[in-house]
């Protein structure tokens, strides 16, 4: 019997519906409609699709969206100046700088300029630190989407062995922290991990975000494990995840498809963060 599919499309739809209901109440109470500002630098085709999808998601949730499309030649300082303008714009609740940025820009520096209360990607060091101590109000969208999906299918986390393959600041590290905060026992693996297969075979929950097509094969998966595939690898043969899906789905109890899995959750959680950011700012304005 094959694994049950973790349907990100369906769960994301429910998250968006909930966000839309809450946003309507928020607007009635405050007179403000949540607003997301997205900045894109250059003309990367994949980035343009992501920005378009974010705009559509805003419409579905009843949010305002602003798009700032800057040429590839934009300087680091020009981008910083725009972010600072948006930081001080009371109408803007969330700021997202679409990555990848051109090579002449320092991504870490850009992330640090965004007001932590408007940082809907949760990349600012303040928000990263809050995740570490378990006190975050804004969570990175992909890791938060993974937990949301596990919860939607009532998959228990506490006490289970979780192996994360990939240590990026975007997914690997924060999802390890979030699983730890939910009382999983977490092992974080990477490109220099020895005997990777031996470790992945211990996992009750295996989360893969390594960026290599079909790297995790069925023999690396414990029978009955929950497999969450974050990878999106565009190859000449099509789009593949980091997990060899067909044989893996015969071994796992639950598995995410690519596409249609975690990617759908990422934008839904971005909408949730934008609303959360609007609430944080409204609360601060009350106190002032």
Nearest to 274 by CA among 169, 119, 149: 119
Catalytic residue among 98, 115, 173, 279: 98
Res. 288: pLDDT tops 70: no
- Beta strands 4-5 and 254-255, pairing class: parallel
242 alpha carbon, distance to own chain's centre: 17
Give Cα separations from 46 to 43, 52, 140, 233, 267 (angstroms). 9, 10, 20, 12, 14
98 as an active site residue: the answer is yes
What gap in Å lies between CA 251 and CA 48, rounded to an integer? 36
Between residues 78 and 1, the one the model is more confident about:
78
If you average pLDDT over every residue of the chain, what do you get?
95
Tell me the domains of the chain and their CATH numbers: 31-115 (3.40.50.10860), 141-263 (3.40.50.720)
pLDDT value, residue 198: 98
pLDDT value, residue 287: 75
pLDDT value, residue 110: 97
Structure token pair of residue 277: 């950011």
pLDDT value, residue 1: 54
pLDDT digits (tens, 9 = 90+) for 240-282: 999 999 999 999 999 999 999 999 999 999 999 999 999 999 9
pLDDT (mean) for 55-82: 97
- Beta strands 35-41 and 94-97, pairing class: parallel
Q: Which residues are paired to 67 by β-bridges?
A: 38
Catalytic residue among 115, 117, 119, 121: 121
pLDDT digits (tens, 9 = 90+) for 144-201: 999 999 999 999 999 999 999 999 999 999 999 999 999 999 999 998 999 999 999 9
pLDDT (mean) for 29-53: 93
pLDDT value, residue 28: 97
> Would you tell me how many other CB atoms lie within 10 Å of the CB of residue 1?
5
Grade residue 234 by pLDDT with cuts at 50, 70 and 90: confident
- Beta strands 233-235 and 238-240, pairing class: antiparallel
Q: Where are the beta strands (DSSP E) in the chain?
A: 4-5, 35-41, 64-70, 94-97, 161-165, 185-189, 205-208, 226-229, 233-235, 238-240, 254-255
204 as an active site residue: the answer is no
């Amino acid at each position: 019997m094959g694994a049950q599919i973790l349907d990100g499309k369906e769960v994301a739809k429910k998250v968006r519906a909930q966000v839309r209901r809450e946003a309507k109440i928020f607007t009635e109470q405050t007179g403000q409609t949540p607003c997301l500002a997205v900045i894109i630098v250059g003309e990367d085709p994949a980035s343009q699709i992501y920005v378009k999808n974010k705009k559509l998601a805003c419409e579905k949730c009843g949010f305002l969206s602003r798009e700032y499309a800057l040429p590839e030649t934009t300087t680091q300082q020009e981008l910083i100046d725009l972010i600072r303008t948006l930081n001080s714009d009371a109408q803007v609740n969330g700021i997202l700088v679409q990555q990848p940025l051109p090579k002449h820009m320092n991504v870490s520096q850009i992330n640090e300029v965004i007001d932590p209360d408007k940082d809907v990607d949760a990349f600012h060091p303040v928000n990263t630190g809050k995740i570490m101590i378990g006190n975050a109000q804004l969570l990175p969208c992909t890791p938060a989407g993974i937990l949301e999906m596990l919860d939607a299918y009532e998959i228990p986390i506490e006490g289970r062995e979780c192996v994360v393959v990939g240590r990026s600041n975007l997914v690997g590290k924060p999802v390890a922290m979030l699983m730890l905060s939910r009382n999983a026992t977490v092992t974080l693996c990477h490109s220099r991990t020895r005997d990777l297969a031996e470790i992945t075979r211990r996992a009750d929950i295996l989360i893969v975000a390594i960026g290599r097509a079909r790297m995790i094969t069925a023999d690396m998966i414990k029978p009955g494990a929950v497999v969450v595939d974050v990878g999106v690898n565009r190859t000449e043969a099509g789009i593949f995840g980091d997990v060899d899906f067909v044989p893996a789905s015969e071994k796992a109890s639950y598995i995410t498809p690519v596409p249609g899995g975690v990617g759908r959750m990422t934008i839904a959680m971005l909408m949730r963060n934008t609303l959360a950011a609007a609430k944080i700012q409204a609360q601060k304005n009350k106190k002032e």
